[in-house]
């Protein structure tokens, strides 16, 4: 986290842990506000990579699951970065600015992702910079968010995945479910925060993580790297996989999974009542597969309705006809909820 931004958050009463604002004094009230009100969230759990240079489009096109060639300036897209075995090493939101491509991904894997991508630059004219300590990531959501952001930025992007660049070089990105992601330099983030104070309730990063979970968007982190093909994490349902573009690492396996109908596991939304909160990478067990793990938690956060909401990759058959448990065969039972999009 940028020191100036951390100082501002601490001055606002934020509790900071590992460089992330976890709450502003009342975590439960913040979750309720995220559920039914309008909020401005610190999103320091997310990192920023920049890709510049005349070969950046072709380089990214050959590395990522999304179609970078068709990503126009002012547009964003979800996508994934896979191993040669077609398993996700990272997923992200990518957008095209007038001068570069910018990527937001989980902070815990940003360094290793940048390093791995840099190994394949070779003679291409591409610069990859980790801007995580130079830029601030914020999230805004709720019925008042659009109007308030419009007053600060002068306008807002009117369609999902459109990007508005402000005069200071910051990005305002429209996400599904009337949410917005803001990426800006610390001084501009402070200006934005001041303009939104009073209209949007400040909340910690866990609230934004919960909103991502409820909207069915996963973030691959350290414990879930190299575990799922993109379709297991519903990435193609979110528009993050192109089946028309050329090759990228793992492309053959991803395409075979899509066209030969061999996908046996999918990501679902669930709630669980547990004494100890689930975390990414926790194993799941099913009554129809006794004595063996059957799935994995992708992301989890405390729910304003009680217990913990989570995204979990589980067998389709077990989801349809069995009972699933967290961490052990007799662990807490998962209660499945509806995702905001259709899962086949």
How confident is the model over 12-21, as pLDDT tens digits?
888 898 889 8
Give me the CATH number covering residue 240: 3.30.1360.120
How far is the C-alpha of 52 from the C-alpha of 152, rounded, in Å?
Answer: 28
> How many domains does one find in the chain?
2
Does residue 56 share a domain with residue 10? yes
Same domain membership, residue 258 and residue 268: no
Burial 300-314 (b: 16+ CB within 10 A, else e): bbbbbeebbbbbbbb
Contact 56, 98 (CB under 8 A): no
H/E stretch holding 153 reads helix 145-153
Residue 333 is given by DSSP the state B
- For position 273, which CATH number holds? 2.40.30.160
313 shares its domain with 215:
no
Q: In a 3-state reduction of DSSP, which class is residue 296? A: strand
Residues 237 and 147 in one domain: yes
pTM (predicted TM-score) = 0.95
**251 and 273 fall within a common domain:** no
Residues 196, 272, single domain; the answer is no
Q: Which of 216, 241, 262 is the C-terminal boundary of a domain?
A: 262
Q: Do residues 228 and 292 share a domain? A: no
**Could you read off the pLDDT tens digit of each residue along the chain, which spans 344 residues?**
777 888 888 888 888 988 898 998 999 999 999 999 899 999 999 999 999 999 999 999 999 999 999 999 999 999 999 999 999 999 999 999 988 999 999 999 999 999 999 999 988 899 999 999 899 999 999 999 999 999 888 899 989 999 998 776 789 999 999 999 999 999 888 888 888 878 899 999 999 999 999 999 999 999 999 999 999 999 999 999 999 998 999 999 999 998 887 789 999 999 999 999 999 999 999 998 888 899 999 999 999 999 999 999 999 999 999 999 999 999 999 999 999 999 86
- Tell me the C-alpha distance between 288 and 296, whole Å: 16
Indicate if 197 and 289 belong to the same structural domain. no
Residue 308 lies in domain: 264-344
Q: Residue 267: which of 235, 293, 225 has the closest Cα?
A: 235
- Among residues 213, 232, 262, the one where a domain terminates is 262
Predicted local confidence at residue 67, as pLDDT: 97
For helices 3-11 and 186-196, what crossing angle results, to 10°?
20
Q: Which of 231, 262, 293 is the last residue of a domain?
A: 262
Is 84 in the same domain as 177? yes
Residue 274 to residues 295, 306, 326: CA-CA distances in angstroms?
A: 17, 10, 9
Q: What is the pLDDT of residue 168?
A: 67
How far is C-alpha 140 from the chain's CA centre?
14
- pLDDT reported for residue 230: 97
160, 301: one domain: no
Query: CA quadruple 195, 14, 7, 180: dihedral positive or negative?
Result: negative
Provide the pLDDT for residue 12: 81
Q: Are residues 140 and 272 in the same domain?
A: no
Q: Are residues 18 and 165 in the same domain?
A: yes
């Amino acid at each position: 986290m940028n020191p100036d931004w951390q100082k501002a958050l601490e001055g606002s009463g934020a509790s900071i842990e590992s460089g992330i604002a976890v709450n502003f004094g009342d975590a439960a009230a913040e979750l309720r506000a995220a559920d039914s009100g309008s909020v401005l969230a610190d999103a320091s759990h997310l990192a920023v990579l920049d890709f510049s240079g005349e070969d950046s489009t072709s380089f990214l096109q050959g590395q990522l699951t999304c179609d970078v060639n068709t990503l126009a300036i002012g547009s964003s897209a979800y996508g994934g970065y896979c191993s040669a075995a077609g398993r996700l090493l990272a997923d992200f939101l990518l957008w095209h600015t007038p001068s570069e491509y910018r990527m937001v991904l989980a902070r815990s894997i940003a360094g290793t992702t940048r390093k791995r991508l840099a190994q394949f630059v070779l003679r291409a004219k591409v610069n990859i910079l980790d801007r995580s300590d130079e830029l601030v990531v914020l999230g805004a959501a709720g019925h008042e968010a659009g109007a308030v952001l419009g007053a600060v930025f002068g306008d807002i992007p009117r369609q999902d995945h459109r990007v508005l660049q402000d005069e200071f070089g910051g990005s305002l990105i429209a996400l599904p479910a009337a949410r917005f992601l803001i990426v800006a330099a610390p001084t501009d983030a402070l200006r934005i925060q001041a303009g939104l104070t009073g209209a949007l309730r400040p909340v910690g990063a866990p609230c934004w993580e919960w909103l991502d979970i409820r909207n069915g968007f996963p973030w691959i982190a350290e414990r879930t790297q190299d575990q799922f093909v993109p379709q297991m994490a519903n990435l193609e349902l979110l528009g993050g996989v192109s089946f028309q573009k050329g090759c990228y690492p793992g492309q053959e396996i991803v395409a075979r999974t899509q066209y030969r109908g061999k996908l046996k596991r999918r990501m679902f939304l669930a709630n669980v009542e547990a004494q100890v909160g689930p975390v990414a990478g926790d194993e799941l067990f099913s009554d129809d597969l006794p004595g063996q793990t059957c799935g994995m938690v992708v992301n989890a956060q405390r729910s304003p309705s009680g217990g913990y909401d989570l995204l979990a990759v589980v067998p389709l058959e077990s989801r349809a006809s069995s009972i699933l448990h967290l961490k052990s065969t007799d662990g807490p039972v998962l209660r499945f909820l509806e995702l905001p999009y259709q899962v086949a």
